[in-house]
Each structure stands twice: as C-alpha cells, then as structure tokens.
Amino acid sequence: MPEYVLYNAPQSTCSQRVRYTLHLKGKTFEEHKLDLFKGDQLKPDYLAINPNGVVPALVHNDAPVIDSAVIMEYLEDILGDVAPLRPHDPLEAARMRTMMRFIDEVPTPAVRVPSYNLAFLPHYQAMTEDAFLAVCESKPLRREFLLKMGRTGFPQSEMDEAIGRLRRGIDRMAHWLREAGGPWLLGADMTLADIAIMPVIVRMDDINLGYLWADAPQIASWLENIRATEAFAKTYYHGSLLTEKYPHLQTLKQTSAHVAA
C-alpha cells in the first residue's frame, strides 16, 4: 500500500485544501475520487476510515487521519522541514491558528449555501421526498444542513445571511493582508491559513461572487499569487471547479462577465 492514500472528491473545498498541502510538500499519494452523489462516502469501507461520512480522509501508513484542518496540521507536524507552513514563533503560530478557526467558523460554512443552491440543488430536486430524507438521515455531519435546504433550496433569507458571512470573511482577510503587508496572510511566507481560505476564495470566484472583494485589490493579488504556484494547478485539475462540472454555471458566469463588460 502507498505511504499516503487520499480519499476525497474533486469539487470538495475541504479536499482541495489537503490536495494542495500534499502537492506543496512534494508528496505523491494514491488518490481515491469518491462520488458523493452516489454515496461513496457512506459505504461501510469508507465509514470504517471516516465514521463522519465526509471527505477528505488521509490514510498514512495504514493509519487514518480525518478532518481537513487536522490533516493539514498533521502533515505539517510530520513534514515541517519541507515547505514549512507554520511559523516557528509560538505567538505567530497562535495567530495562524486563530485565523484558521475564523475561516472554518465563518466563510467556509457560508460558501456552502450558494454552492448548494446554484450547483447541487437539481440533484436533490430529482429525488422523491422519501429518498431525500433518507439521504439526510445518512449524513452524520450534514443532516441539519440538508434538511434546512430541503428540495426547494435555501430561501433568500438564508442566501442573504450566507453572503453577509462571506462579506465578513472577505473584510477580515483584507484586514489580515493589509496588516501583514502581503503577499500572504501572515506576511512574506505562506502558511496553513492561506491554504485554509484558498478553496473559499476560488469557489466564490467560480460562482460569480468575486464582486465581494471589488474594493479589496489585495485579495485579487493574493488569488493571483496562489494560482501561480505549482501546487495550485495540480490541485485544481479539470473537474475541480463547479463551472467545469455543471455547464449551466459556466453559462451564468459568461453571461455575468458579458453584462459587467
């Protein structure tokens, strides 16, 4: 068995964090792409690795490590001498972890609401009510989220709340970049905090929410910088963006770009 085995999904933002970290560390890994709509993450073999029934999960030397933030910290713990991603100074490391907690509490869950409404909802609408409820009950960490969405989608009030949380995330990120002087959240060196926020910013740009940082050019520069890294292209292979998976989103994005022009 390979030293590193990653169970993930191409469009999963949490999976993208871990793929990027592994590529940045220069580690080869066996990748298992799970089809979340077919329920691969709920099959007994996978639940034996990750009982939460979500992706990603990393198996390192036959031992599972779950939760994307935990996996990132674990990889830094064992590979800290390769492309270091955590400050040596304890206070700076604490600042980084504080950033990561905010990212995981505010923008990361918020971006799921427009993502589901714009991309994933048709899949659930095609189900019967009983089938949809069965899916909800089978998801230990997403049950309440899916039930709130229902088969009609999140109401406008939920969308507005999510956009508000994303705005707060953008404002905080812009503040961090101004405070540190860039190009990364803590200054000259990329850290785990940059990787933690990366999939949120990429997803927002992909689903036409990039206007939220129109008044924060430092975020556009940050996005350009991270896209220029070698690990980014390896992480975002074709099919990793929602617009590559769902053609109607690409059409909407092109229409928006045309209107803006």
Task: Map out the domains of the chain as residue ranges.
Answer: 4-78, 90-260
Long-range contacts of 127-135 (CB under 8 A, 24+ apart): 127/151, 135/39
Which pLDDT does position 123 carry in this prediction? 75
In this prediction, residue 250 has a pLDDT band, given cuts at 50, 70 and 90, of confident
In this predicted model, what pLDDT tens digit does every residue of 231-242 receive, in sequence order?
999 999 999 999
Q: What is the mean pLDDT of residues 155-160?
A: 93
The confidence score (pLDDT) of residue 150 equals 82
Q: Which amino acid is at 50?
A: N
Stretch 86-103: mean pLDDT: 98
- Average pLDDT, stretch 63-91? 98
Q: What is the predicted pLDDT for the residue at 256?
A: 53
- Average pLDDT of the chain is 92
E-assigned strands of the chain?
4-8, 30-33, 57-60, 63-66
From the list 151, 154, 152, the residue with the least C-alpha distance to 128 is 151
pLDDT tens sequence across 34-62: 998 888 998 999 999 999 999 999 999 99
Q: Which of 113, 124, 120 has the alpha carbon at shortest distance from 204?
A: 113
Q: What is the CATH number of domain 4-78?
A: 3.40.30.10
Q: Which CATH class is domain 90-260?
A: mainly alpha
Give CA–CA dist 236/239, Å, rounded: 8
- Distance between CA atoms of residues 22 and 79, nearest Å: 10
Q: Which pLDDT value is given to residue 35?
A: 93
pLDDT for 11 equals 96
